[in-house]
């Protein structure tokens, strides 16, 4: 999503240390080595595995309860062709059937944003793509009440319209909320469409297209999208190529800012999530889907290249072929004191991980 950066050359060193094997890759950035840590034998296990869904889990989003973080919710998609839905879980992984939305047609990805102006009332919203109806759906939180008059059509001028990925961006200046949407197939240069979400007098939400953007290598498809509200960037996985980065604001240039993570993946680049630490610092986690692992890149930029995101760690997980993921750095309860990472697994569940278990002593 920015001017493409040639992949760095990695020096690979294999070390044996008793029961574990480690790979260390050294990137030299600004003359400072960045060591990539990967324990090939250790698999990080989740603290909680959710109840199972009916069909095919795909993508989670985390809603933080503003008055009691321990009562936060996980909203996840289940991709049944006509029996799909949005499943809602508590922090123990238990289904809250009173909030679930059923009988949807292949809901694919979901995201959450806070403080949408719904006719003067700040409203938290959950927005998903409903691929089988060529629409996006909008629900208020925490009730999961539909506020979209049955759905908002997308890609209306196109023959290939099936929406897949979605990520929401909130403009820090005026609090307007936008949706970035990808589709099953799309052209190089305008694969993603950006929509402004607006409130109508009848208390429902509509979407207005404001921009088309997005380079595409053409090898597979684009699904996973993530937005960094604080820094104003949108990232997405060009599945057979790498992660691309653009400015999120609709008035920004559509020039790609970076293209990273171009080597080392087993096959598909998938779920993206952003773990912030101090302002501008933190990590970007990307699913190495078929390898059952996550590659962790630096969120912050380097001095010589403001849009470079070096790889710093590779983590094996038990979540199988994870497609979608989400993370928060906010303390939630005694179990998730440093935040929560949620990853979809192909066994119809979502896995909850503690950040410190992924980071270990390597990431601060």
Q: Which pLDDT score is estimated for 9? A: 33
Query: What does the DSSP 8-state code read for residue 257?
Result: B
pLDDT surpassing 70 at residue 193: yes
pLDDT grade for 4, boundaries at 50, 70 and 90: very low
pTM over 0.85: yes
pLDDT grade for 31, boundaries at 50, 70 and 90: very low
What would the pLDDT profile of 276-332 be if each residue is shown by its tens digit? 998 889 999 999 999 999 999 999 876 667 788 999 999 999 999 999 999 999 999
The pLDDT mean for the chain works out to 91
Q: What is the mean pLDDT of residues 195-199?
A: 98
Contact by Cβ (8 Å): 302, 311: no
pLDDT grade for 269, boundaries at 50, 70 and 90: very high
pLDDT grade for 345, boundaries at 50, 70 and 90: very high
Contact by Cβ (8 Å): 162, 134: yes
pLDDT surpassing 70 at residue 2: no
The CATH homologous superfamily of the domain defined by 11-359: TolB, C-terminal domain (2.120.10.30)
pLDDT surpassing 50 at residue 18: no
Q: Which pLDDT score is estimated for 260? A: 96
pLDDT surpassing 50 at residue 55: yes
* Sequence-ordered alpha helix ranges (H) in the chain: 355-359
pLDDT surpassing 90 at residue 262: yes
Q: What is the mean pLDDT of residues 139-155?
A: 98
pLDDT surpassing 80 at residue 256: yes
Residues 6+ apart with CB under 8 A from 26: 10, 11, 13, 33, 34, 35, 36
245 membership: H or E segment, kind and range: strand 242-247
Contact by Cβ (8 Å): 156, 163: no
Query: Domain residue spans in the chain?
Result: 11-359
pLDDT grade for 120, boundaries at 50, 70 and 90: very high
Q: How many residues does the chain have?
A: 364
Residues 6+ apart with CB under 8 A from 317: 43, 44, 46, 292, 293, 294, 343, 351, 353
What would the pLDDT profile of 75-103 be if each residue is shown by its tens digit? 999 999 999 999 999 999 999 999 999 99
């Amino acid at each position: 999503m920015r001017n493409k950066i040639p992949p760095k050359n990695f020096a690979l060193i294999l070390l044996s240390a008793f029961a574990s094997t480690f790979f260390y890759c050294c990137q030299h950035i600004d003359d400072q080595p960045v060591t990539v840590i990967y324990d090939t034998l250790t698999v990080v296990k989740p603290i909680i595995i959710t109840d199972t869904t009916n069909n095919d889990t795909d993508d989670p989003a985390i809603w933080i309860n503003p008055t009691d973080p321990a009562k936060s919710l996980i909203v996840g998609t289940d991709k049944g062709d006509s029996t799909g839905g949005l499943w809602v879980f508590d922090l123990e992984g238990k289904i809250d059937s009173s909030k679930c939305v059923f009988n949807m047609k292949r809901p694919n990805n979901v995201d959450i944003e806070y403080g949408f102006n719904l006719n003067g009332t700040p409203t938290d919203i959950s927005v998903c793509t409903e691929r089988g109806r060529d629409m996006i759906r909008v629900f208020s939180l925490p009730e999961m009440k539909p506020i979209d008059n049955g759905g908002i059509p997308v890609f209306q001028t196109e023959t290939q319209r099936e929406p897949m990925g979605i990520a929401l961006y909130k403009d820090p200046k005026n609090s307007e909320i936008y949706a970035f949407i990808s589709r099953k197939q799309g052209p190089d240069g305008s694969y993603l469409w950006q929509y402004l979400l607006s409130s109508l007098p009848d208390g429902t939400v509509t979407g207005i297209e404001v921009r088309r953007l997005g380079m595409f290598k053409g090898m597979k498809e684009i699904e996973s999208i993530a937005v960094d509200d604080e820094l104003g960037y949108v990232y997405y996985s060009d599945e057979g190529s790498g992660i691309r980065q653009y400015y999120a604001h609709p008035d920004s240039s559509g020039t790609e800012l970076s293209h990273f993570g171009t080597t080392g993946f087993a096959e598909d680049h998938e779920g993206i999530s952003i773990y912030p630490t101090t302002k501008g610092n933190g990590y970007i986690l990307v699913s190495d889907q078929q390898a059952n692992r996550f590659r962790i890149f630096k969120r912050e930029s380097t001095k010589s290249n403001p849009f470079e995101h070096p790889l710093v760690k590779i983590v094996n997980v038990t979540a199988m072929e994870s497609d979608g993921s989400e993370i928060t750095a906010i303390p939630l309860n005694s179990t998730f004191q440093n935040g929560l990472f949620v990853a979809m697994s192909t066994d119809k569940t979502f896995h909850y991980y503690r950040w410190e278990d992924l980071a270990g002593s390597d990431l601060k």
